[in-house]
Structure 1
């Protein structure tokens, strides 16, 4: 007789490893497309800290946002980080923003950000790092929890699966 698998024992644990505070500029409206309403947000700076690493978010990246017809937002952000030791990291975050009906109504009425109780935004960070002490960032899977404390800032808390 085969022993049943303990699925809870196989469930991944999460470890918070990085918090990014990303400053964004005003959105550049690109209009409607077959995928939905498009808006690009320039990355203008910020900072980050985490397990054995901290530094600055470099200006020059972009968060490409598409609001689908079903009200779900898709984000695809690419930007670079510079650690306090001078290492350069490329980061790509792809994610989904789901709002409650009330949250969508607030957003349609021009309110942003909306209360955290009215949305859930998650992303999948993927890191490109120099060889050396940070290469552990390329050997793990991550999920990010995204919050919008203001129209000019995005906070991403990155968790590693292990």
Structure 2
């Protein structure tokens, strides 16, 4: 079923394609920089599953996080995956996180993670793969819904626009 706007423009639908369960280290705080407060969250592993693909998140890479002065957080994560069939997948996630007033208060008190209703985090994952079975990942526009189930875990559910 295609939904249309009042002006008859078709609205894209979302199709789930992949979920990533990423393990991270505590932040390496760079400190106050010209563009805000910078921290690196090193990636230590994890796993993923998706449409006809599954495997491991490889240790290495990081989320080079920026806490802007307006309170918005910018995600910039680069890391690699390896499928259970031996295929390498590079991923680059750019995203934003915004907090509710209660979420900002909790984070200021040193609490993390906070309840999902107190933040909104989404990203635009881009994939690099060799030509072949998984190259459909490079021909799709993706969005991701990011959640933080534990202090050392990030979950990203990736959807393609169709």
- What is the TM-score normalised by the length of structure 2? 0.95
Q: Distance in 1 between matches of 2:83 and 2:140?
A: 19
The list of structure 1 runs, each at least 4 consecutive aligned residues, that deviate by more than 6 angstroms after superposition, is none
Counting strand residues as a fraction of each chain, which structure ranks higher?
Answer: 2
C-alpha distance after superposition, 1:122-157 (max 9, x if no partner): 000000001101000010100000000001000000
Q: Distance in 2 between matches of 1:14 and 1:117?
A: 22
Q: Distance in 2 between matches of 1:128 and 1:159?
A: 16
2:3 counterpart residue number: none
Structure 2: gaps spanning 5 or more residues: 1-5
2:50 counterpart residue number: 50
CA RMSD of aligned residues (A): 0.9
Q: Distance in 1 between matches of 2:94 and 2:28?
A: 19
1:113 counterpart residue number: 113
Q: Distance in 2 between matches of 1:114 and 1:90?
A: 29
How many Å apart are 1:26 and its aligned residue? Answer: 1.1
How many Å apart are 1:109 and its aligned residue? Answer: 0.3
Structure 1: gaps spanning 5 or more residues: none
The size of the alignment, in residue pairs, is: 157
1:122 counterpart residue number: 122
